[in-house]
Structure 1
Amino acid sequence: MRAVSTSQLYLVTPIVDQPDAFAPLLSAACSAGTVAAVQLRLAAADERTLVKALKALCPVAQENGAAVLLAVVGEAPVDLDLVLVAARGGADGVHVEADLEAVHELRGRLKDERILGVGGVRSKHDAMSLGEEGVDYLLFGEPRRDGSLPHLDSVEERAAWWAEIFETPCVAFAPDLAAVPRLAATRAEFVALGDAVWTHEGGPAAAVRAAAAALRDGAGA
C-alpha cells in the first residue's frame, strides 16, 4: 500500500468462517477494478485453521494486485501469534485494534517486511501516538463492535485532519457508496467499504465498479 493523490479502494470483508464459499465473492470484487487492499476478517480459530484460510484466500486478492491484511475477530487462543500466522499464510500484513503496547510489539516484530494497520482509534491523541509507533496506516470510521457506525461528519473531519497534517496514510470508512466521494475529497489515501460491497444488489463486482467511479468523482471535488 502506498499513498497517492487520489484515494484508492480498501475492502473490509465480513467475518469469514468458510473460505471456500467466500472465495468467489472476493474474486469478483478484486477482479472488477483497482482494489488496493483487502482487510480479511477471519473468525478466531487456531493457527492451523487461520493459515489454511489465508492460503485459500490471499492469492485470490493478490493475483489482482490487492494487498491482504489479516484481522482476527473474536476470542482467539491466547498463544496465537499473528505475525507467524500472517507469514505462513502469505498475508501482506496484519490489521489490529488500537492498543499502543500491542502495536509497539507488533511493529518491532514485523519490521518493514509486512504492513501493520490499526483501527478502533478513539481520539486524535491516540492517532498521533500510534503514528509515532510507525504504523503503515490508520483506519477511521469502521463499524464498532456492536455494529454501530460513527457519524459520517466525524469520520470526514478526522480523515481530513489526518491527511492534511501527517505523512502516515489513513483509511476513511464509508458506510455506503454514496459516502465515497465525500470521503475521497478529504484526500485520505484510501477509502474503505464493507457490507456496501458484499451485499450490493448487483454483486461485489458492480459495487467495486461503482466505488471506483465514486472515487474519481471525489478526487475532482
Structure 2
Amino acid sequence: MLVLPPALSAETAQAWVKAGDVAAVIATLPAGGEVAAMDRLRTLCATVQEAGAAFLVEDRPDVASAVKADGVHVASANGFARAIAAIKPQGIVGAGMDSRHDTMEAGEAGADYVLFGDLDGSGELAAVTDLVSWWAEVFEVPCVGVATTLEDARELAAAGADFVALAALPSGTDGSALIAAVDRVLAETEPRS
C-alpha cells in the first residue's frame, strides 16, 4: 500500500505501483482550484487503477465517487459513518482512527481494513508496532501499519501487519527502489508468534 503525496504525477504513481506488489494507494485532493484538482485526481486514479492497484481517496467519499475511485480512507468516527453510508457495499472503506475504541468500532461496523500510524509517516514506530501487534492477535479485519523506511516495514510485518503502507516516499526512481526493496522484505518476513 502507498500513501501518495498530493502533487505526485500520474507517471510517477504508475512507476511506483509497478515497482512492487502494491494492492492500493491512498491519495488526497491536490491543492489548487477545485476543477483542476479534480481533473488531476481523476487522471491519477485512472492511472493507478490501470497499473493494477485500488485507488482510495482520503476523507472524501464525495470526491471518491466523482473520480470513480475504488473507495475511501477515513480518519474519524463521524467520517467513517458517512463513508460507510456513501461507499459500501460497492467500494472499500478503510479506517485510520486515533483510539483503540474507535478502531474496534470501525472494524465491527464494516471497515475493510484498519490503519495504524500517521499518513505522513510522522508517527512513532514503537506505538504503531504495538497497535499492529494488539490488532493482529485479536481481530480478523486486516491491519495496515504506516512505514517510511525498509526497517520500519520489516518491523511492522514481524509485528503481524497484513499490509504496510509506505509514506513519505522519496521522489522518482528512489521511491520505486524503496518500494521494490520493501516488497522483497515483506515476502521474507514471518510474523512473530
The alignment's TM-score, normalised by the length of structure 1, stands at: 0.77
Q: In the TM superposition, what whole-angstrom CA distance separates every residue of 1:39-71 from its partner, at most 9, and x where no partner exists?
A: 012235665444322321112211222101012
8 Å CA contact 2:121–2:146 kept in 1: the answer is no
Structure 1 position 188, deviation (Å): 1.5
Alignment partner of 1:130 out of 88, 106, 110: 106
8 Å CA contact 1:50–1:85 kept in 2: the answer is no
1:114 aligns to 2:69 (yes or no): no
Hey, what's the Cα distance between the residues in 2 that align with 1:63 and 1:15?
Answer: 19
Structure 1 position 106, deviation (Å): 1.9
1:198 aligns to 2:170 (yes or no): yes
Hey, what's the Cα distance between the residues in 2 that align with 1:47 and 1:124?
Answer: 35
5 Å matches for 1:90-105?
Answer: 90-98=68-76, 100-105=77-82
Structure 1 position 216, deviation (Å): 1.6
Corresponding pairs, count: 192
Alignment partner of 1:83 out of 50, 55, 61: 61
1:157 aligns to 2:157 (yes or no): no
Hey, what's the Cα distance between the residues in 1 that align with 2:31 and 2:51?
Answer: 26
Structure 1 position 185, deviation (Å): 1.4
Alignment partner of 1:142 out of 110, 118, 140: 118
Hey, what's the Cα distance between the residues in 1 that align with 2:47 and 2:106?
Answer: 30
Question: Secondary structure at the residue paired with 1:29?
Answer: helix
Q: Is the alpha carbon distance of 1:131 and 1:160 closer, same or farther for their aligned partners in structure 2, counting shifts above 3 Å?
A: same
Q: Quick one: higher RCO (CA 8 Å, sep 6+), 1 or 2? A: 1
Question: Secondary structure at the residue paired with 2:159?
Answer: coil
Question: Secondary structure at the residue paired with 1:185?
Answer: helix
5 Å matches for 1:1-221?
Answer: 10-16=1-7, 22-43=9-30, 48-71=35-58, 82-98=60-76, 100-119=77-96, 121-143=97-119, 149-195=122-168, 197-199=169-171, 202-219=173-190
Q: Is the alpha carbon distance of 1:149 and 1:204 closer, same or farther for their aligned partners in structure 2, counting shifts above 3 Å?
A: closer
Alignment RMSD (CA, Å): 2.2
Question: Secondary structure at the residue paired with 1:43?
Answer: coil
Q: In the TM superposition, what whole-angstrom CA distance separates every residue of 1:58-101 from its partner, at most 9, and x where no partner exists?
A: 122112221010126xxxxxxxxx33322231211111222x23
8 Å CA contact 2:25–2:56 kept in 1: the answer is yes
Q: Which moved more, 1:155-164 or 1:126-135?
A: 126-135
Structure 1 position 166, deviation (Å): 1.0
Hey, what's the Cα distance between the residues in 1 that align with 2:12 and 2:131?
Answer: 31
Ranges in structure 1 where 5+ consecutive residues have no aligned partner: 1-9, 73-81
Hey, what's the Cα distance between the residues in 2 that align with 1:185 and 1:107?
Answer: 31
Q: What residue identity is the alignment partner of 2:170?
A: W
Ranges in structure 2 where 5+ consecutive residues have no aligned partner: none
Task: Using the aligned pairs only, state the percent identity.
Answer: 37
Q: What residue identity is the alignment partner of 1:35?
A: V
Q: Which aligned segments of 4 or more residues in structure 1 are displaced greater than 4 angstroms?
A: 44-47
